[in-house]
Structure 1
Amino acid sequence: MNAYKFFLEFHSGFRYIVMVLVLLAILVAFASLLGKKPYTNGNRKLNLFAMISAHTQLLIGLVLYFLSPFVKFEGGVMRDPNARYWTVEHLAMMIFAIVLITIGHSKSKKASLPSEKHRVIALFYLLALVTVVVAIIQSHRPFFGMSH
């Protein structure tokens, strides 16, 4: 197994950890918001681990980016839809999603009311999750065993 194949499999598999943690953070935030529950240390840790996993996925993805045969640094990338997707679109959407998660986490730390902390996490993490799902669907690859 070469380095590209290793990082491709690692990146592909690690996405499930990221998706589960982000989805769990969203569900807990909505449940806590609707149930008017306090913002606990457990909430803080879940949100932090979700953010850390997303950042880790970004780092794995950046290594993969530079090892990938799809990434072409000479001309013609924008004319090839597959190369354009992997070189520009996927990367941009994933970075945008991680920025949303990071902003949400930061804003939740600064909020004083528990309801505001839960609301910010629910909103920003949900927007990030939607961005990730759209980016993966656009890749024309199976997602969670489903094809479109």
Structure 2
Amino acid sequence: MYDFIQKFHSGWAYLALLLLVVAVVNTASGFFANREFTGKDRKIALFGLIAAHIQLLVGLVLYFISPLGLALLGEMKDASARLTSLEHPLINIIALVLITIGWSKHKKQAESAAKFKSILIGFGIGLLLILSRIPWALWL
């Protein structure tokens, strides 16, 4: 069970990152081109939001069933142990909160530019945080 969830978490990460990148690029192009915010733009951002939340849920399950997750919390001097047991989950939770705030704020906006800006800021900062805490040595 643990191996399946770990592989799913690693594999789903590619899809989640791709959808987040597409959402950020689409939103940035809409913002800078002064386009109208359409249903297509909303759906692209929504797919990125959903994929990121699924990744978070799978990651939390993995963290609590992993033999490494909580056991490594006492070994904060080791950089790789600290990354996988503390930094990766904590920063990614913060990133998902920012992505969710960006999504929620866009729904309250009336103008297209404001909608694009809310999503761009929330998703953009969230994506940067996620990319900063990926355990690249384990992932590639």
Q: Given the two structures, how large is their TM-score scaled by the length of structure 2?
A: 0.91
Offset at residue 63 of structure 1 (A): 1.1
Any residues of structure 2 matched to 1:27-46 within 5 Å, and which? 27-46=25-44
Alignment check: 8 A CA contact 1:70 1:82 kept: no
1:82 partner letter: S
Q: Deviations over 1:76-107 (max 9, x none)?
A: 24344333322211110110110010000001
- Please name the residue that 2:5 is paired with: 7
| Equivalent of residue 48 in structure 2, options 29, 47, 50 | 50
- Please name the residue that 1:141 is paired with: 137
Distance 1:74 1:39 in 2: 45
Q: Matched residue of 1:24: which SS?
A: helix
Structure 2 regions of 5+ residues with no counterpart? none
Change beyond 3 A, Cα 1:74–1:130: closer
Alignment check: 8 A CA contact 1:72 1:83 kept: no
Any residues of structure 2 matched to 1:88-107 within 5 Å, and which? 88-107=86-105
Q: Deviations over 1:25-45 (max 9, x none)?
A: 111111111111111011111
Alignment check: 8 A CA contact 1:93 1:135 kept: yes
Number of corresponding residues: 140
Q: Deviations over 1:8-36 (max 9, x none)?
A: 11000101111111111111111111111
Change beyond 3 A, Cα 1:110–1:124: same
- Please name the residue that 2:108 is paired with: 110
Structure 1 regions of 5+ residues with no counterpart? none
Asked if 1:66 is matched to 2:64, the reply is yes
| Root mean square deviation, CA, Å | 1.8
Any residues of structure 2 matched to 1:15-34 within 5 Å, and which? 15-34=13-32
Distance 1:74 1:26 in 2: 34
Say which structure is richer in helix: 2
Change beyond 3 A, Cα 1:106–1:75: closer
